[in-house]
Amino acid sequence: MEARVWIKLVLAVAVIFMSGCKKKEAAVTKPEAKPVVKETRQMSAEKESFGKTPDGKQIDLYTLTNTNGLKARIMNYGAILVSLEVPDRDGNLADITLGFDKLDGYLGEHPYFGAIVGRYANRIGKAVFNLDGVEYKLAANNDVNHLHGGIKGFDKVVWRLEDLSVKGAGAVVKLSYISEDGEEGYPGNLACSVIYTLTEDDKLEISYDAETDKKTVINLTNHSYFNLAGQGTGDILGHEMMINADKYTVVDEGLIPTGENRNVKDTPMDFTAPMTIGSRIGQVEGGYDHNYVLNSSGGTLALAAKVHEPTSGRVMEIHTTQPGVQFYTGNFLDGSVIGKAGKVYQKNYGFCLETQHFPDSPNKPDFPSVVLHPGQKYSTVTAYKFSSK
Ligand code: BGC
């Protein structure tokens, strides 16, 4: 009997204890019993203020995001790509472009970080060209030569917002600029637009369109400096680079093409098979700063380059309709520029792949033509596709 009493007692205590626990549990869980909201990212295109130019013009920052979390920030000053966040092989996002946190940095001296470059990207020899027997003199802003559109190129003007929206294809920002007849010495009023589209399949596409009312020359590109390990984390010499080009345009000491397109085979210029940037850079005087003649020869969207950064696993693949690409390894970065998050940009801390027509084409009749006629449409596309391995 005594044992039964004991069992009953133990059971009773257990029941009281458990119900007490349940009560406590109920009291704790009740306020949290809301429907569970699963974190879903949405494709978006948003605008915020980024400051003002010294002459009081409003500068805005446009943020394009896709559902995988990739994020591109663009501003209307210079139509500059301010940052580009892409995931590594573990899904960690990093900003892979060099630049500044604030507008002030971009208003000061810098080597075209993220900018849209025009009216003529790259160099024009002796800063002069002829069209129909008329000589057009441009600013000699790179020794005796003309570089990247002159003193106040498209990278230093305020563009107009035309569209900021999410469309089927992705998140879009469209900017336009009218370059007046005679601006920086170029003939013709040129109406240009640049569209940045961040797509759901992790592509940042930049398309360029222009029309003129007088015969002129045009060569537009984007001058982003990339480091796929993350901006400011070190040099880019360990990146594996493939450039889909069997030839490059040989240049003189002022980096003006001589007119010869030389085969890359058996030279340090050969990136037809993936090679680390640093493996042969020491054999190239000054580092890489050369225009490659793409095998596709332009016109259709074709593979120009593929870059892999082994520590993060990030991969960038570039397709373009342009016939050339300037491969530049940030040779003139020297630690004098303090960039995003206080990072000091040393030599080779970023590389550029500027899809373009060849340098000095206005003076090289054998190069693909850069002449734009009234009634004709200039239209090019370059797409940067991101993945990891
Ligand atoms: C040129 C380099 C130049 C750099 C910054 C590149 O496109 O090829 O020679 O130093 O831009 O201006």
The CATH architecture assigned to 44-388 reads Distorted Sandwich (2.70)
Using an 8 Å Cβ cutoff, are 70 and 386 in contact?
A: yes
Which residue among 349, 352, 354, 360 is best mutated to probe the pocket of ligand 1, counting the most ligand atoms within 8 A of its Cβ?
Answer: 352
Using an 8 Å Cβ cutoff, are 111 and 153 in contact?
A: no
Task: Mark whether 223 is an active-site residue.
Answer: yes
Task: Give, using CA atoms, the residue closest to atom 12 of ligand 1.
Answer: 111
* Domain ranges across the chain: 44-388
For residue 23, is pLDDT > 50? no
- Catalytic choice (85, 183, 211, 354): 354
Q: What is the structure's pLDDT at 35?
A: 52
Q: Which of 168, 165, 120, 172 is nearest to 146 (CA)?
A: 120
14 pLDDT band, cuts 50/70/90, is very low
Using an 8 Å Cβ cutoff, are 144 and 123 in contact?
A: no
**CB-ligand 1 contact for 289 (6 Å cutoff):** yes
For residues 233-246, one letter each, b for 16 or more C-beta atoms within 10 angstroms of the residue's C-beta and e for the rest, the string is bebbbbbbbbbbbb
pLDDT tens track for 81-131: 999 999 999 999 999 999 999 999 999 999 999 999 999 999 999 999 999
Q: Distance between CA 73 and CA 65 in Å, rounded? A: 9
- Catalytic choice (148, 223, 239, 357): 223
CA dist 89 → 199, 229, 242 (Å): 19, 11, 20
For residue 3, is pLDDT > 70? no
- Arithmetic mean of pLDDT, 134-157: 98
Q: Distance between CA 13 and CA 11 in Å, rounded? A: 5
**CB-ligand 1 contact for 51 (6 Å cutoff):** no
Q: Distance between CA 377 and CA 385 in Å, rounded? A: 26
- Arithmetic mean of pLDDT, 173-195: 98
Neighbours of 301 (CB within 10 A): 16
Task: Mark whether 373 is an active-site residue.
Answer: no
Give me 287's structure tokens. 């580092």
**CB-ligand 1 contact for 317 (6 Å cutoff):** no
**CB-ligand 1 contact for 205 (6 Å cutoff):** no
Which residue among 288, 289, 347 is best mutated to probe the pocket of ligand 1, counting the most ligand atoms within 8 A of its Cβ?
Answer: 289
- Arithmetic mean of pLDDT, 49-76: 98
pLDDT tens track for 318-333: 999 999 999 999 999 9
- Arithmetic mean of pLDDT, 162-173: 94
Q: Distance between CA 59 and CA 22 in Å, rounded? A: 59
Q: How far, in Å, from the CA of 353 to the mean position of ligand 1?
A: 11
Task: Give, using CA atoms, the residue closest to atom 5 of ligand 1.
Answer: 111
Q: What is the structure's pLDDT at 41?
A: 77
- Arithmetic mean of pLDDT, 164-183: 96
**CB-ligand 1 contact for 332 (6 Å cutoff):** yes
- Average pLDDT of the residues of the chain: 92
For residue 31, is pLDDT > 90? no
3-state secondary structure string, the chain? Answer: CHHHHHHHHHHHHHHHHHHHHHHHHHHHHHHHCCCCCCCCCCCEEEEEEEEECCCCCEEEEEEEECCCCCEEEEECECCCEEEEEEECCCCCEEECECCCCCHHHHHCCCCCCCCEECCECCEEHHHEEEECCEEEECCCCECCEEECCCCCCHHHCECEEEEEEEECCEEEEEEEEEECCCHHHCCCCEEEEEEEEEECCCEEEEEEEEEECCCEECECEECCCECCCCCCCCCCCCCEEEECEEEEEEECCCCCEEEEEEECCCCCCCCCCCEEHHHCHHHCCCCCEEEEEECCCCCCCEEEEEEECCCCCEEEEEEECCCEEEEECCCCCCCCEECHHHCEECCCCCEEEEEECCCCHHHCCCCCCCEECCCCCEEEEEEEEEEEC
**CB-ligand 1 contact for 145 (6 Å cutoff):** no
